[in-house]
Amino acid sequence: MTKIVLIEDNHEMRENIEEMLELADYQVLSAENGKIGLDLVKRELPDLIICDIMMPELDGYGVLYYLSKMPETRAIPFIFLSAKTERTDLRKGMNLGADDYITKPFEEMELLEAIESRLKKRQRFEAIMDSDDKWKGFQDAVCDLTGLDDLKDNGQIKSFGKREEIYFEGDTPKWLYYVKEGHVRSYKVTRDDKELVTGLYGAGEFFGYIDLLSQGAYNEFSVAIEGAKLALIAKDDFEKLILSNKDVSINFIKLLAGDIVEKENELVSLAYNTVRKRVANALSKLYLKYKEGLAERVEVTVTRDELASMVGTATESVIRILSEFKKDEYIKTKGSLITILDYPSLRDYRF
């Protein structure tokens, strides 16, 4: 049975929530103030914590602060309950590492849905950690398990048109970007004015964090491919969360490590693979970025010049190889639209 610790100083409120949770088949352990609640959590190690903010002895912020310092408790999902509705109060809780923030009064289903959502996200994270490929899904895990979930939802939303630049090389980083819709590519420009793609990002992915964390200027360009809707998270908010929440820091370190591994693989591919193999790899990567659900055929919008910049070759070579892949029925083309028909063959292409 799922174990929940409830920390609430109001006796009537505490009893009502206990009854509600027990009827939903949760085991509930309760405490009337933050100090008792802190000891209870350390002793019982529950699956989830629900905590009021304004309490005697030790307030909710203090409870979360101390729990975040202990390895055995800092990853337990934490939901704040409070009558405080100011945005600064919400931000303070999220910066400390809370997973959710529910204002009083609230509907029964609002709390139950929040609990179910946080437990499912924790289970998904644990499944990722138990899998052979721990990099897969970390973008969602980072977002779901920390205050980034709320930062991206409350961030400034901005839409970019087709081929519209998002930032330029040399610009000062001000935002962490989160893709809500569409696709984005980052690229470098060589001395002879040729583009080389350095990254592709789809819905649910962060980008721009490497230069943001390095405190330097952007060392690449970024552009919306067919158009994109982005959430812009302010640099100060992101840095506060990184510094105050170890889970966020650890997961972004893992994302950075994953980026390094991917870049190393791309360098090996450029050095040793044939142009045909590199085109096949690029199309496979686009397939995974654009794939939705169980669809076997995937349409991607990419110009021949953009594909050449991904592969690191001349546009003429890409046009010739696409023609060959079309004859082999791996793809079909119509203008800049490429429909990938046979992903396994492209993925496993050898020469």
Paired strand residues for 3? 27
pLDDT of residue 246: 62
Report pTM.
0.54
Q: Is the pLDDT of residue 8 over 90?
A: yes
pLDDT of residue 167: 94
Write out pLDDT tens, residues 266-288.
Answer: 766 666 789 999 999 989 888 88
pLDDT of residue 323: 93
pLDDT of residue 84: 64
- Cα–Cα distance measured from residue 56 to residue 341, given in angstroms and rounded to the nearest whole number: 64
Find how far residue 288's CA is from the centre of its chain.
Answer: 16
* Best mean pLDDT range from 143-147, 201-205, 226-230, 261-265: 226-230
Q: Is the pLDDT of residue 145 over 60?
A: no
* Best mean pLDDT range from 33-42, 89-98, 298-307: 33-42
Percent of the chain with pLDDT over 70: 79
Domain with CATH 2.60.120.10 in the chain: 148-262
- Cα–Cα distance measured from residue 163 to residue 169, given in angstroms and rounded to the nearest whole number: 16
- How does DSSP classify residue 202? -
Query: Which whole-number Å values give the CA distances from 293 to 138, 226, 287, 339, in the listed order?
Result: 19, 20, 12, 16
Q: What is the CATH number of domain 273-347?
A: 1.10.10.10
If you average pLDDT over residues 172-176, what whole number do you get? 91
pLDDT of residue 247: 64
Domain with CATH 1.10.10.10 in the chain: 273-347
pLDDT of residue 328: 92
CATH number (2.60.40.1760, 2.60.120.10, 2.60.40.1930, 3.40.1160.10) of 148-262 reads 2.60.120.10
E strand intervals along the chain:
3-7, 27-31, 48-52, 78-82, 100-103, 156-160, 165-167, 175-189, 195-201, 206-207, 221-234, 298-301, 331-334, 337-340
If you average pLDDT over residues 111-130, what whole number do you get? 75
The lowest-confidence range among 47-61, 125-139, 253-267 is 125-139
Q: Do residues 186 and 222 touch, judged by C-beta distance below 8 A?
A: yes
- Cα–Cα distance measured from residue 311 to residue 300, given in angstroms and rounded to the nearest whole number: 16
Domain with CATH 3.40.50.2300 in the chain: 3-130
Which CATH class, in words, describes the domain spanning 3-130? Answer: alpha beta
Long-range residue pairs from 288-293, CB within 8 A, at least 24 positions apart, any chain: 289/183, 289/200, 289/201, 289/202, 290/183, 290/202
